[in-house]
Amino acid sequence: MDFHSKNSYIIPLSRFQAQCINKMKKKQQRKISPRVPKIKFRPLDRRYDAQTPDTIDSTVLDSFPYEYPEKDIVIDIETDEFTAVCPWSGLPDFGTVRVNYIPDKCLIELRSFKYYLMTYRNVGIYQEHAANRVLADLVKCCKPKWMQVTIDYRVRGGVHTVASVEFGKKEGK
């Protein structure tokens, strides 16, 4: 017999059976959700200290020669492992860094780029300043014809931020 159909027959429980079932349910509820005392939390008016932007180590960036400087190629680099710190609260800011560039004579060595981004990990820097700083350091490293750096930050406090900055002129613009 299907107990979910309209024609199903429900056998009434005796008063004793109903009492036993209710006692079992109450015991299970106590085991599952024990009484937790209400705790009043105090506000956390605190900040975590962060390093200053002068600790960013751009000397780890390295480049190597581009073998086809007469040919314009757009190189796209992307990583979602970028972390910096809010200079006000000291809380982490997570983001995706996208670098698009047209090289002139040098290419960015990717391992060194990864190490460079790691130096931001404990640095208190505004999101817009981080994009400008990354661009300035990469331009100094490889001297491209054109470069765009975009940092797409994760939502924090209900606000989504994307900071994008460019260097040079891209052909066709």
**127/163 Cα distance (integer angstroms):** 7
Q: Is 86 among the catalytic positions?
A: yes
- Which position among 20, 86, 106, 152 bears the catalytic label? 86
Q: Which helix (H) or strand (E) holds 99?
A: strand 92-102
Are 20 and 27 within 8 A, CB to CB? no
Instruction: Say which residues have a Cβ less than 8 Å from residue 101's Cβ, sequence separation at least 6.
Output: 74, 75, 108, 138, 142, 144, 145, 146, 147, 148
- Which position among 20, 54, 62, 93 bears the catalytic label? 93
Q: Is 152 among the catalytic positions?
A: no
Residue 159 β-bridge partners: 156
CA distances from 147 to 80, 109, 139, 143, 167 (A): 19, 15, 8, 9, 5
Show which residues are catalytic: 86, 93
